[in-house]
Amino acid sequence: MRLSTQQFFQQNITNMQERLVKLNEYQTQIASGKRILAPSDDPAAASRVLEINNSINATVQFQENAGIATSRLEQEEGVLSGATQTLQRVRELVLQGRNATLTASDRGFLASEVRIRLDELLGMANTRSSNGEYIFAGNQAKTQAFTQDASGTVNYNGDQGQRQLQISADRQIADGDNGREVFVGIRNGNGTFSTAANNANTGTARISAGSVLTPGSYQPDQFEIRFTSGNSFDVVNVTTATTVAAAQPYTDSASITAIPGIEVALNGAPAAGDVFTINPSASQSMFATLGNIIAGLTGNQGSTGDNALFQQQMDNALVDIDQSIEKLLEVRASIGARLKAVDSQIEVNDEFQFQMKSVRSQLEDADLAEVISQLTLESTALQAVQQSFVKTQELNLFNFI
């Protein structure tokens, strides 16, 4: 075999260039810490890395959303915790107020505190978030959630929307509750029906909140217990205009079960013509409940009927306030559950991010130890080529002629 001189030089140059290219590649890998410098280095891994980056970035956004959800839910929880305290204070005031020994001015003091508490509650219900949204206005976020009209009635101006935030690819969580749900949509009475004494009653009898015995048999109609004398009454279904039970004997504090499915009890001495109504529970806002209390505390006093009515109002107020407090506790429990869910989702997201990053690192990161040893190997090889080239090119017959 012959080797042409030109080929000899060319071959050596090519060899050295190839080594140099390799060296450069290793050096770039070390400098960037990455194995994949262009997708063509490993197309499958490169496109996978892109998708992983996408997942990681999306998760970063989910974490941000989760953070926002947490802070909003915490704000709401703070407000509702305050509202609970307010209602509990009002409950104490009602308990104080129903004491029959209080004078009119004592009740007046209590009424004015309840008024302050009502304003306080209204202020809470109109809480705004840091970016100016009414947090209890549903989706009508820029509309003041509750306004009080001239007659003192508090109206809800929001809607029933509830905003969901995306906290993972397939999970959304509500970042709040609308005011209709929290403050307005509270069932009065015992939740199924409410009882009341007629304003015109003259006896001392009061009706209890009652309870449901068999939920299936209760017909949500309007019923009335009408006393025909101090010890006899009729039970009438006003809706259907039928008498359910006629001429029932009255016993103080005895349970009356004439209305199918429920029981109520009366205590005290009714007078002939006294009427007690039993209505299906309706929605009653906390503000209306507080308004009723104020009305009760500032109502007429003196006559037997007035006192009985006052006592009845206070009884009903206690039931309604308990319903309100229960509603707040229910919403707060739901907020707590959501906060917990967000927390655990944040952990899941963190874990996911960590896993994705380690997969990405396996895909695209250079194994430095290996690359450095290859770099060393390659630079040794380059040196060897250079030295052997210098040596062999000296071997020329012309040097000896």
Partner 1 sequence: MANGDLLNISISGLRTSQRVLATIGHNISNVNTDGYSRQEAELSTRDPQFLGNGFLGKGVEVVGVNRQVDAFLNTQVLVNTSSSSKQQVLFDLSSQVDKVFANEQTGLTPALQSFFNGLQELADDPSSIPARQVLKTEAETFVARFHEINERLSDLNLNSNQRLDDMVSEVNSLADAIARLNRDISQSPGIANGIVPNDLLDQRDALLNDLSELVGFTTINQQDGAVNVLIGNGQTLVVGNTAQTLATVPDPLDSSRKEVAFVSGGASFVISNNLRSGEIGGVLDFRDDVLDPAVNGLGRLAVVVGSTINAQHRDGMDLDGQLGGDFFVLPSPRVVGSSGNTGTLTVAYDPAAVGNLSIDDYQLDVTAGNLLLTNLSSGAVQTLGAIGSGPFSAEGLIISEGVAAVNGDRYRLEPMQNAARDLRLNITDTSKIAAAAPIKGSAALANTSDAVVSGGEVLDVTNVNLLNSVNLVFNSATTFQVNGAGASIAYTSGANIDLNGWRVQITGTPQNGDTFSVQSNAGGVGDNRNALQLSALQITDILENGTTSYQGAYSQMIAIVGTQTRQAEISSSALGVLKQQSIAARSEVSGVNLDEEAARLLQFQQSYQASAQAISIANTIFETLLSAVR
Contacts with partner 1 by CB under 8 A lie at: 1-7, 11, 14, 38-44, 46-48, 50-51, 53-54, 57-58, 61-62, 64-65, 68, 131, 133, 137-143, 159-161, 163-166, 169, 172, 180, 184-185, 220, 280-283, 396-398, 401
Cα–Cα distance between 187 and 154 in angstroms, integer? 17
Q: Which is closer to partner 1, CB of 84 or CB of 157?
A: 157
The distance of closest approach from Cβ of residue 119 to partner 1 in the complex, given in angstroms and rounded to an integer, is 23
- Compute the C-alpha angle 219/225/227, nearest 5°: 165
The distance of closest approach from Cβ of residue 280 to partner 1 in the complex, given in angstroms and rounded to an integer, is 5
Q: Which is closer to partner 1, CB of 37 or CB of 269?
A: 37
Cα–Cα distance between 237 and 244 in angstroms, integer? 6
The distance of closest approach from Cβ of residue 198 to partner 1 in the complex, given in angstroms and rounded to an integer, is 22
Query: Do 271 and 227 touch, CB atoms closer than 8 A?
Result: yes
- Compute the C-alpha angle 218/224/226, nearest 5°: 140
Task: Please give the backbone phi and psi of residue 357, each rounded to the nearest 5 degrees, phi first.
Answer: -65, -35
Decide: residue 385, CB within 10 A, 0-12 exposed, 13-18 middle, 19+ buried: middle
The distance of closest approach from Cβ of residue 29 to partner 1 in the complex, given in angstroms and rounded to an integer, is 16
Contacts of 131 (CB under 8 A, 6+ apart): none
The distance of closest approach from Cβ of residue 103 to partner 1 in the complex, given in angstroms and rounded to an integer, is 38
The number of CA neighbours under 13 Å toward the Cβ of 55 is: 19
From first CA to last CA, the distance across the chain in angstroms is: 24
Contacts of 168 (CB under 8 A, 6+ apart): 59, 62, 345, 348, 349
Please identify which residue in the block is written with the tokens 């609970």.
84
Q: Which is closer to partner 1, CB of 151 or CB of 399?
A: 399
The distance of closest approach from Cβ of residue 25 to partner 1 in the complex, given in angstroms and rounded to an integer, is 12
Cα–Cα distance between 289 and 311 in angstroms, integer? 15
The distance of closest approach from Cβ of residue 109 to partner 1 in the complex, given in angstroms and rounded to an integer, is 33
Q: Which is closer to partner 1, CB of 189 or CB of 268?
A: 189
Q: Which is closer to partner 1, CB of 41 or CB of 120?
A: 41
Q: Which is closer to partner 1, CB of 95 or CB of 333?
A: 333
Q: Which is closer to partner 1, CB of 34 or CB of 115?
A: 34
Q: 275-280 and 232-237: which strand pairing? A: unpaired
The distance of closest approach from Cβ of residue 116 to partner 1 in the complex, given in angstroms and rounded to an integer, is 27
Task: Please give the backbone phi and psi of residue 140, each rounded to the nearest 5 degrees, phi first.
Answer: -80, 60
**Tally of residues, the chain:** 401
Q: Which is closer to partner 1, CB of 125 or CB of 266?
A: 125
Q: What one-character-per-residue DSSP string does 219-275 give?
A: ----EEEEEEETTEEEEEETTTTEEEEEEEEP-TT-EE--STTEEEEEES---TT-E
The distance of closest approach from Cβ of residue 159 to partner 1 in the complex, given in angstroms and rounded to an integer, is 6
Task: Please give the backbone phi and psi of residue 134, each rounded to the nearest 5 degrees, phi first.
Answer: -75, 115
The distance of closest approach from Cβ of residue 217 to partner 1 in the complex, given in angstroms and rounded to an integer, is 15
Please identify which residue in the block is written with the tokens 């956004």.
61
Cα–Cα distance between 354 and 348 in angstroms, integer? 10
